[in-house]
Structure 1
């Protein structure tokens, strides 16, 4: 089969490798119909040696497809079912999974990284391929409803496995209330997903802070009431000008670096909630914001998305047409052009927001 593999720092390639096989009773083999390229994939491959990637490792944690084979312990799926995967495989039965915190699953891990491969049986690799073996298939895969069954719906469904679910996670943790003001920091796929997700909670004002005019224009069509390009205007002053100088009630930070965290604190009013989704703080020191938060009664909520806990709620919302997560895709390429897709996403001047690969 064809698969995208890590070659060396910032370099991937498409190669022929053997099709995966059932190894455990709760395994499922999925024939992939569409796979996403995530910003995290760019980070993983750019920092391959530090992340523990090795030459030939398959990449990718976002995929939808059709069940090709099932282990004898699978009772939720049948061969031929259309499915979406959680970006993280989870056992569904541990202490944390039972508490709706599958991101902390005792036996889980993220597809396409070496960090937790032993939990799935040493052959858990990425989904940018023609086939993949999914461990814990009863809890890591979700059957698609009839209204979302077919290749034409893949782009609507695929973001629920990671990007849109992450945006929803941010909106939920930002404690958004009807009629209030929300600010989303960052105009990448997660930030734009957070804009869409925020609309589900009924705020009167949704402000997107970004750096790319084309993405800011897109945001206006998916729920943002106001946008500001932080390269041209001070976003803190912009937010305060719309809130009688007080600041926003809720912040969703999809960037998470020093600048974003500092601005997020400065553009909130007393009693606000800040939800930090971005990983920018992993790459640069960030001063702790707790003193300022303490004296203004600000709640700071961080955390990794709990895809498996949200999927059954999000699928019907997409099926009813309440939201259309496919808006985040700008380029659909054949799997054979994966290198081009990665290059487009790395080139911030190309106009590309997010790439999907079709085997």
Structure 2
């Protein structure tokens, strides 16, 4: 079958790879119809040796498709069901899953990555391929409701696997108040998702989007729901936010970058008593100072954490089906799976007009 895999730092390949087989009784095999390229995939490719990525590792953790086979213990999905997968496979039964902290699952892992491979039977595959093996299918796969199950709506369901669910996670943790102000830092797919989730589901008066690309910020205003935008390369985001908030700063901030510079911005633009939600992974690749003193004296809350996709599916799937939100807007480019390397290049190079690429089978 055709699949996308890591070749070398900054390089991916698409080629023939072995078809997956059922290994455990709770496995399913999914025929992938649409897969996403995520910013985390770019991090794995750019930092392969440091991230433990081996040559030939299959990539991708966002996918929708059709169930082709199931193990004898799989009861929640059946052959022929159209499904969306959680980016992380989870057992659904451990201490953390029962508390809806699925990202801390004791037996979980991330598709298309070297993280916790042993938890999935030492054969964790990526979703940017024609077929993929799914461990713990009962708790990792979600049957699409009737309004999203014809195949034509795959792009609406796919962002719930990770990016839109992550944006929603950030909005929840930022404690957005109705009629209030929320700032989103970062103009990639997760940043756009955070703007969309905030504007459509939490009813703030102002959604201020901070980025570094005029085209992406224009997209945010025209499609995602930002009321104000500022380019950090040509303006001062802290002063911009303070001017719009009477000099006090914002009570809700979502940082989708997560490096030293973005975290400092959140502290500088936060109002005393504010909530800062950190989603970005920048701190994994460069040290970040812990701002305990700056937070303590201003009663700031800094909430970090990886998205708990399964916990949000029961909320988000009905909203997408009903048309309350359309997360498919983040897909600016849809390419054939065979052109996955081109899709990575577009995202790595931040090609004008490209925010997120989907790969279609």
Band of TM-score, shorter chain: over 0.9
Partner residue, 2:261: 259
Task: Say which SS state the counterpart of residue 115 (structure 1) adopts.
Answer: coil
> Gaps spanning 5+ residues in structure 1: where?
none
Distance 2:144 2:346 in 1: 30
How many correspondences in the alignment? 359
Distance 2:248 2:351 in 1: 35
Moved more, 268-277 or 195-204: 195-204
List aligned pairs for 1:224-263, cutoff 5 A.
Answer: 224-263=226-265
Work out whether residues 258 and 280 of structure 2, in 8 Å CA contact, stay in contact via their aligned partners in 1: yes
Partner residue, 1:76: 76
Task: Say which SS state the counterpart of residue 341 (structure 2) adopts.
Answer: helix
- 1:10 Cα deviation from its structure 2 partner: 1.2
Work out whether residues 117 and 125 of structure 1, in 8 Å CA contact, stay in contact via their aligned partners in 2: no
- 1:150 Cα deviation from its structure 2 partner: 2.3
Partner residue, 1:316: 318
Root mean square deviation, CA, Å = 0.9
- 1:114 Cα deviation from its structure 2 partner: 1.6
Task: Say which SS state the counterpart of residue 6 (structure 2) adopts.
Answer: strand
Partner residue, 1:218: 219
- 1:125 Cα deviation from its structure 2 partner: 1.5
Pairing 1:111–2:98 present = no
| CA pair 133-349 structure 1, distance change in 2 beyond 3 A | closer
Work out whether residues 5 and 12 of structure 1, in 8 Å CA contact, stay in contact via their aligned partners in 2: yes
Partner residue, 1:208: 209
Distance 2:59 2:127 in 1: 6
TM-score, with structure 2 as normaliser: 0.98
Partner residue, 1:281: 283
Distance 1:183 1:339 in 2: 33
Work out whether residues 215 and 352 of structure 2, in 8 Å CA contact, stay in contact via their aligned partners in 1: no
Moved more, 347-356 or 4-13: 347-356
Distance 1:287 1:50 in 2: 21
Partner residue, 2:353: 351
Distance 1:12 1:204 in 2: 43
Distance 2:247 2:55 in 1: 53
Work out whether residues 31 and 131 of structure 2, in 8 Å CA contact, stay in contact via their aligned partners in 1: yes
TM-score, with structure 1 as normaliser: 0.98
Distance 1:46 1:263 in 2: 25
Task: Say which SS state the counterpart of residue 292 (structure 1) adopts.
Answer: helix
> Gaps spanning 5+ residues in structure 2: where?
none
